[in-house]
Structure 1
Amino acid sequence: MIDHTGIAVADFEKAKAFYDAAFATLGASLLFMVPPEFTGGVKVGGYGRERPQFWLHENAENAPGRHYAFSAPTRAAVDAFYVAAMAAGGKDNGGPGLRPHYHPNYYGAFVFDPDGNNVEAVCHTPE
């Protein structure tokens, strides 16, 4: 249903380092940087697997508190996402594990990114 979405980040390079590490575990990467002549010099980049679907744009007046959940192909990928995100400066908001109160096979991990957004990797397979 959602084609793409994005968030504002206070420090683009810090956010980029975090998302580069976290998304690598999910098979996603920075696919496109918008040329600065189209953004007035503001850094804007899009992450995805096949096309940009999650965008970061530099903005000192961002507001934390958003929640984004990204699909993981396996529970091991959820575990790897959590480890990489924490090592890249994330803050724990719920380590990898089953969340049966959401769904019997809901396996997720939650991390706050450098701007305070709640970022999650989730797998819905039984193993």
Structure 2
Amino acid sequence: MSAPAPIARLLGTRRFSTLAAALLTLPYWTSGIAKLFDLDGALGEARHFGLEPAALVVGLTIAVQIGGSLLVILRRQAWLGAGALGVFTTAATLIAHPFWQVADPIARFHERNTFLEHVGLIGGLMLAAVLQEREA
């Protein structure tokens, strides 16, 4: 069953799909911008997770977060932007949210939820790449 006509028109507009891409990538581009304005905090975060050289990690992270988001939002090689964000999210999630190593049940519950939310983002990025490739 297809969507009612008003919904189908909305779903077919460029503004709606651009908004959807901006919202999907919101966690990434806002994080990249925040890191640009707080490099000391970003370097501290990288070091906290044992990621060295921290300056290189932070630079690459900012480039992927902002650059990948722009590629998806602007529909310019969206598959590349979504792929870069997906690989980044996979690595970051495995490093920052290893819920299976958390002993406290409440903390494990929260870490598992965060882990699964990130997996959902990866699925959304995959879907964005598929849909934008079909538009091309």
Q: Is the structural similarity TM-score above 0.5?
A: no
- Greater relative contact order (Cα < 8 A, sep 6+): 1
Say which structure is richer in helix.
2
Rg larger in structure: 2
What interval of TM-score do these two structures reach, taking the shorter chain for normalisation?
under 0.3
Say which structure is richer in strand.
1
